[in-house]
Amino acid sequence: MAPTGEALMAALGYGARTTVERPSQGAYHLNPTNLVMMGETPILRRLRPLVRTAEKLGVPVTHLAVGSLSRLPPDRIYRAIVADPRHPESYPQAFGEQVLLDALAQNLTGMTGVRITSEDSMITPGGIGAVFGAINLVTRPGDLVTVFRPSWPNTPVICKLLGRSVQAITTDPSEGFRVTPSLLRRVKQESRLVVIERPGNPTAKNWDDDELGAVRDFLLDPQRRETCVLADEEYYGVSDGLPRSILELGLSRTISTAAWSKTACITSARLGRLTTLDRRIRQLLVPWSNLWLGVNNFMNVQHALAVLVNDFGPEGLPAYFWALNQEMADNRRIAREVLGYVSGLRLISGQGAYYDVVVFEDPQLDEVQLLLHRLLASIAAARDGERNGDLPKFTYCIPLSGFQDIENGQVIRGLRVTHSKQGDQLRAALQVLVDMIRDYREAGYPHYGGIEEVTGKVLAGVAVEPMRNSRSTSITTFPAVAQA
């Protein structure tokens, strides 16, 4: 007989529930500025001594349970976990915490002006889990999903893996990549879901009044009563201007998804959320397990293989990555033609809060330890030199999962740093980053060899120039940003 979610957690040695450790001062917010966010994965548990060091440096540490677990893993994986809790396919803790849902409801209500309760959202394993869940909730195999482009490469891939067909509609750069009434009229009548990314990836286009008005008219059209709109608002905290959401419309048949604990890449302590004001959709929000986390690189390679092979058969893994590469290649073509730079991602700074530290899980624990040690040292040095109690707010994102360069097949990895105040501190942070890259080169790590330099205009409130990648590894440009 299959175990319950709590029994599974007990079998893994976690206990029935996890207590959320809240910051010691002030109210709990979804995006605390100074936070080390740690997931309960086997590798990150081994990093706990370093996290305690971060606490001693004055960085509040919050341990969060990740996702919501009810759909159980395959029996084969469960038996392996029970036999050895240290098995590489072990699952992290996965309960949706009420304190997180409450904070989410409070933040979204303040952001949108619409009353949103904790019952309107569910916690998902990352943003990809939220998008996957939304598409799976409101469509069925064989349904048509309309995706406005340029788009996040995974969105059409998820549709195809779920057996949905895709209609792609490309926005016009001369109109600011806006989803206009004329483009919405091109949505096929049989489409059951329209997906819009705001802020756009890779355009960084944010919602505006005209665009939200066009979406409202679309939803209120009697001929569109069977169509829902999914707004993938993944980067609303790091966009131009104030964050906006489709939830402002207060309409049914709308879904908003997003993720946090990340900026530009995949993390191991990644959380997502799916929010809807539609009661019919909300009734379908039965939490699912972390089974899809493998697709999101949440766990490790063995877990990802097990998930993909289990869900899609032996051909699942190559099918997924083939489709993903096709979408990324197509997006890069659009990026070249429309945006004038080669990148699968483009994030620019805005009003959102950033984390001090975001740690990424990687099978090579030594890499994580080296980078985290460097990070803690830089935070300590910066805070030793602070004046008037003005703490610097650094964000270090260490994407150890890597990005595949479609053109030459290499796997490259990058580092990203953002800063929110003074130029001297920003220069120091960038120097730490340069030192990291130099150390990795000297240690013989080839996946850092493509990053040529890190440059920036060190002026408070002025965006720093992005890292410049060499021609041989050109897939990702990581911006380094200064916030006023």
Are 326 and 366 within one domain?
no
Are 195 and 333 within one domain?
yes
pLDDT string in tens for the chain (484-residue length): 333 333 323 333 333 222 223 233 222 222 222 233 333 344 444 445 555 655 565 554 444 433 333 333 445 544 554 555 444 444 433 334 565 677 678 778 888 899 999 888 876 656 776 787 788 778 888 899 999 987 776 787 778 767 789 999 988 878 888 999 999 999 999 999 999 998 776 666 789 999 999 999 999 999 999 999 999 987 554 444 567 899 999 999 999 998 754 322 233 335 678 899 988 887 666 434 333 332 232 222 223 333 333 333 333 333 333 333 344 344 434 333 332 221 222 222 222 222 223 333 333 334 444 444 444 444 444 444 443 333 333 333 333 232 222 222 222 223 333 333 333 443 444 444 445 445 444 544 333 322 222 222 221 222 222 323 222 221 122 222 222 2
Query: Does any domain span residue 72?
Result: no
Domain boundary, last residue among 339, 371, 394: 339
Task: Find the CATH number of the domain harbouring 308.
Answer: 3.40.640.10
Half-sphere exposure of 42 (CA within 13 A, CB side): 16
CA Rg, the chain, in Å?
A: 22
Are 299 and 435 within one domain?
no
Are 330 and 450 within one domain?
no
Query: Does any domain span residue 329?
Result: yes
> Cα angle vertex 238, ends 96, 129, to 5°?
35
For residue 223, count other CB atoms closer than 10 A to its CB.
Answer: 8
Are 308 and 448 within one domain?
no
Are 269 and 367 within one domain?
no
> Cα angle vertex 134, ends 201, 315, to 5°?
80
For residue range 176-229, what is the model confidence (pLDDT) as tens digits?
A: 889 999 999 999 999 999 999 987 766 667 899 999 999 999 999 999 999 999
The DSSP letter of residue 338 is I
Are 425 and 314 within one domain?
no
Are 374 and 310 within one domain?
no
> Cα angle vertex 397, ends 392, 402, to 5°?
165
What is the number of domains present in the chain? 2
Among 348, 478, 363, residue whose Cα is nearest residue 415: 478
Are 370 and 333 within one domain?
no
With beta carbons less than 8 A apart as the criterion, state whether 300 and 361 touch.
yes
Query: Does any domain span residue 171?
Result: yes
Query: Does any domain span residue 77?
Result: no
**Tokens found for residue 327:** 């979408």
Are 202 and 169 within one domain?
yes
3-state secondary structure of 287: coil
Residues facing residue 25 across a β-bridge: none
Are 295 and 383 within one domain?
no
- What's the domain range around 383? 362-469
Are 430 and 329 within one domain?
no
Among 119, 125, 63, residue whose Cα is nearest residue 273: 125
